[in-house]
Amino acid sequence: MTLPDFPAHLTPTLLQGRTALVSGGVSGIGLAIAQLFEASGAKVVVADISLLGGEAPQSCPVGSGWHCDVSDEASVADLAKSVAKTGNGLDILVNCAGVPQSSTAIETMTVEAWDRIMNVNVRSLFLMTKHFLAPLKASGNGAIINICSTVGVRPKAGLAAYSASKAAAIATTQALALELAKDRVRVNGINPGATETPMLSGFSHGREVQEVVGSFASQIPMGEIIRPSDVAGAALYLASDLARLVTGVTINVDGGRTV
Ligand SMILES: NC(=O)c1ccc[n+]([C@@H]2O[C@H](COP(=O)([O-])OP(=O)(O)OC[C@H]3O[C@@H](n4cnc5c(N)ncnc54)[C@H](O)[C@@H]3O)[C@@H](O)[C@H]2O)c1
């Protein structure tokens, strides 16, 4: 397994013996998290809307892959049944699947577009937590990591729906951290700044990622666009015993943008 941006020796056993489910793990940040978790010893399961459905796991860039629309309760319930059948339990849930908003004036935004963003970015957190809570509790050492965004704390004009969805993701993370502390399930979030993934194109009216990277990087105090592996590093910390008593936080991985 080639791990871009990470020295191969860095974390070979941090997640040994754990099973991790990563939604949105086919692309971008989710893919980097799935790769780093597997390289750190975890069994990785990926759930993504872009994978084909079926009774057996699908071919996937990393781990075993299952089709799931995380905004749809029946689809999440099917995924939970499929994962339960593998008999590996579940220790770590990473809710990374998400959709962007192309900058939209509020008066031209449709109800359908608003609802889709809220359903994929927020309702999914409720559904995935609800349907995977039993194995996470049984783990005795459960961890949920929600990929939120810097715009959840520093919103942007034209991104009302996306900003609202990520602020809700942060509040959901905090409320669940309190609710699940007694069950030894830690719940944390990460706020990435602009990260070099296919999603950047979705924020930029379909312009090529390489065309827009420079303008995003110029807004970041450290002068660099965030790499998916930068976010994966924070996820690995939050998933591991290094963060044994860390719950209810959201870590900014943003080169100082939120300060
Ligand atoms: N790229 C950024 O600048 C940035 C910044 C902050 C936060 N984020 C957040 O990080 C997360 C990952 O984004 P990314 O940049 O890696 O994007 P990406 O487009 O590269 O990957 C998103 C993945 O989610 C999957 N997905 C979309 N809708 C789904 C659904 N309904 N059910 C299941 N899977 C679905 C896609 O198929 C894709 O594989 C998202 O939650 C996003 O909001 C991204």
Q: Where are the domains of the chain?
A: 16-196+227-252
Nearest-CA residue for atom 32 of ligand 1? 69
For the domain spanning 16-196+227-252, the CATH number is: 3.40.50.720
Tokens (6 digits) for 122: 């927020």
In the numeric block, the tokens 């990470």 are attached to 6
Ligand 1 atom, smallest distance to 100 CA = 43
What DSSP state is assigned to residue 20?
A: E
| pTM for this entry | 0.96
Residue 162 appears among annotated catalytic residues: yes
Higher-confidence residue of 209 and 94: namely 94
Residue 38 to residue 64: CA distance in whole angstroms: 11
pLDDT band at 1 (very low <50, low <70, confident <90, very high): very low
Residue 4 predicted with pLDDT over 70: no
Please work out whether the CB of residue 30 comes within 6 Å of at least one atom of ligand 1. yes
Please work out whether the CB of residue 190 comes within 6 Å of at least one atom of ligand 1. no
Ligand 1 atom, smallest distance to 29 CA = 16
Nearest-CA residue for atom 31 of ligand 1? 69
Strand order in the sheet with 43-48: 64-67, 43-48, 19-23, 92-95, 142-147, 185-192, 250-253
Q: Which phi and psi (to 5°) does residue 146 adopt?
A: -100, 125
Q: Which of 92, 110, 90 is nearest to 101 (CA)?
A: 110
pLDDT at 19: 98
Please work out whether the CB of residue 135 comes within 6 Å of at least one atom of ligand 1. no
When computed from its CA atoms, the radius of gyration of the chain, rounded to whole angstroms, is 17
Q: List residues bridging with 186 in a β-sheet.
A: 143
**Cα 30 to ligand 1 centroid, rounded to whole Å:** 7
Those residues whose C-beta lies under 8 Å from the C-beta of residue 40, and which sit 6 or more positions away, are 11, 12, 13, 14, 15, 16, 236, 240
Residue 215 to residue 256: CA distance in whole angstroms: 16
Residue 183 to residue 104: CA distance in whole angstroms: 41
Do 121 and 162 contact (CB within 8 A), yes or no? yes
Ligand 1 atom, smallest distance to 216 CA = 3
Residue 130 to residue 77: CA distance in whole angstroms: 9
Ligand 1 atom, smallest distance to 166 CA = 43
Average pLDDT of the residues in 21-35? 97
Those residues whose C-beta lies under 8 Å from the C-beta of residue 202, and which sit 6 or more positions away, are 99, 100, 101, 102
Residue 75 to residue 128: CA distance in whole angstroms: 10
Residue pLDDT, tens place only, 46-90: 999 999 988 888 888 899 999 999 999 999 999 999 999 999 999
**Cα 200 to ligand 1 centroid, rounded to whole Å:** 10
Q: Which phi and psi (to 5°) does residue 134 adopt?
A: -55, -55
Please work out whether the CB of residue 70 comes within 6 Å of at least one atom of ligand 1. yes
pLDDT band at 233 (very low <50, low <70, confident <90, very high): very high
Catalytic residue among 6, 162, 203, 216: 162
